Amino acid sequence: MTSAFVRCAAFGALAVLSVSVAPLSVASAADISGAGATFPYPIYAKWADAYKKETGTGLNYQSIGSGGGIKQIKAKTVTFGASDMPLKPEELEQAGLIQFPMIMGGVVPVVNLKGLKSGEVKLSGTVLANIYMGEVTKWNDPQIKALNPNVNLPNTAIAPVYRSDGSGTNFLFTDYLSKTSPKFKTQIGANTSVQWPAGIGAKGNEGVANMVKQTDGSIGYVEYAYAKQNNITYLGLQNKDGKTVVPKIEAFQAAAANADWANSKGYYVILTDEPGADSWPITGASFILMYKNPQDVATSAEALKFFDWAYKSGAKMATDLDYVPMPDSVVSLVQKTWSQSIQADGKPIWTASAK
């Protein structure tokens, strides 16, 4: 296993993430394989590089979208899957899986509007839904102007950009639009993949970020780290309390403050359209999926060591990329789940000595 530099297209020509990766076929027995959500890819890449240097154990993580991650873990081709859409408890039970939250962050609408700064234009969930339903087609449409009376909006056609692959980012975005627009909920709904009536498809957070940067008048939705690292203009949003907020770590934390992880079976928590004057309305957690009775016990134990290290030593790296680390109280719950639920021959593979 060698350490390689993997270029994330969303970060442009000069920014490169160092990640310990190798094809699955040549990975050593100690190396961990995972696949799924693009939402947490920047922080998983950063963690992987630091962990490799500290322990010698590598992580091969394929950033292929939540839908792909769910498929790969169910096919038993990876040690863990990653999804921004939590699986319902009954689906976990049927597949013999557990899930736990690893990191939190926000999905943000981004635009390519010359001369306008981040946060200068604001939208409501209803108007955002109308844009993606193809009903609001110009940036100076009366619905947008009503929310931005002091902004000089151009008479430019809106080009909606959407995720073409099955993704948790799609789920969070469509779940939010479904909660704020009954029409969107009825006609399109919330899922990892939906039938969009208008716009341009692009694969991954990286693809959407690049498409927005290349397309005049476009609007898209990406994880906040991608928007910030690419210096793409983002919009403000009206939240459930009617307040206009901009994406930042404090707004993601405010949205997560009411989450009841302890009483949510299978950690099934969705953080969109949460109450609170400071809450960012498209906040979400990214989840890890693992087998209760893994085939490769040694590698699964190594994966838990990596996740434990990330919880304990990766918080600053996460906040530096504008993710929200899981609170200590949630980490304790998760580790209890590991001890109780992930077993080999009836014995837990995660114990105090495993740390």
**Residue 274 domain-assigned?**
no
Q: What confidence score (pLDDT) does residue 346 get?
A: 86
Domain boundary among 234, 267, 300: 267
Which CATH number characterizes residue 212's domain?
3.40.190.10
**Residue 75 domain-assigned?**
yes
**Residue 263 domain-assigned?**
yes
**Residue 18 domain-assigned?**
yes
Mean pLDDT, contiguous 10-residue spans, the chain (355 residues) = 35 33 40 93 95 95 93 97 95 97 96 95 98 97 97 96 91 97 97 93 92 97 89 96 95 91 94 95 96 94 96 95 92 95 90 55
**Residue 281 domain-assigned?**
no
Same domain assignment for residues 31 and 155: no
Contact 37, 83 (CB under 8 A): yes
Same domain assignment for residues 153 and 239: yes
CB atoms within 10 A of CB 200: 16
Number of domains present in the structure of the chain: 2
Same domain assignment for residues 94 and 186: no
How far apart (Å, rounded) are the C-alpha atoms in residues 192 and 171?
Answer: 4
Same domain assignment for residues 68 and 216: no
Q: What confidence score (pLDDT) does residue 26 get?
A: 37
Same domain assignment for residues 117 and 48: no
How far apart (Å, rounded) are the C-alpha atoms in residues 82 and 289?
Answer: 6
**Residue 278 domain-assigned?**
no
Go through 132-159 and write b for each residue having 16 or more CB atoms within 10 A of its CB, e for each that does not: bbeebeebebeebeebbeebebeeeebb
Same domain assignment for residues 83 and 232: no
How far apart (Å, rounded) are the C-alpha atoms in residues 234 and 140?
Answer: 17
**Residue 34 domain-assigned?**
yes
How far apart (Å, rounded) are the C-alpha atoms in residues 329 and 236?
Answer: 31
Q: What confidence score (pLDDT) does residue 352 get?
A: 53
Question: Considering the entire predicted model, what is its pTM?
Answer: 0.83
Same domain assignment for residues 89 and 171: no
Same domain assignment for residues 163 and 92: no
**Full domain range(s) for residue 161:** 107-267
Same domain assignment for residues 246 and 294: no
Domain boundary among 210, 236, 267: 267
Q: What confidence score (pLDDT) does residue 316 get?
A: 96
**Residue 12 domain-assigned?**
yes
Same domain assignment for residues 194 and 99: no
3-state secondary structure the chain: CCCEEECCHHHCCCCCEEECCCCHHHCCCCCEEEEECCCCHHHHHHHHHHHHHHHCCCEEEEECCHHHHHHHHHCCCCCEEEECCCCCHHHHHHHCEEEEEEEEEEEEEEECCCCCCCCCCEECHHHHHHHHCCCCCECCCHHHHHHCCCCCCCCCECEEEEECCCCHHHHHHHHHHHHHCHHHHHHCCCCCCCCCCCCEEECHHHHHHHHHHHCCCEEEEEEHHHHHHHCCEECEEECCCCCEECCCHHHHHHHHCCCCCCCCHHHCCCCECCCCCCCCCEEEEEEEEEECCCCCHHHHHHHHHHHHHHHHHCHHHHHHCCCEECCHHHHHHHHHHHHHHCEECCEECCCHHHC
Structure-block tokens of residue 145: 């102007």
Domain boundary among 198, 232, 267: 267
How far apart (Å, rounded) are the C-alpha atoms in residues 32 and 242?
Answer: 44
Same domain assignment for residues 252 and 135: yes
Same domain assignment for residues 193 and 255: yes
From the list 103, 347, 87, the residue with the least C-alpha distance to 223 is 103
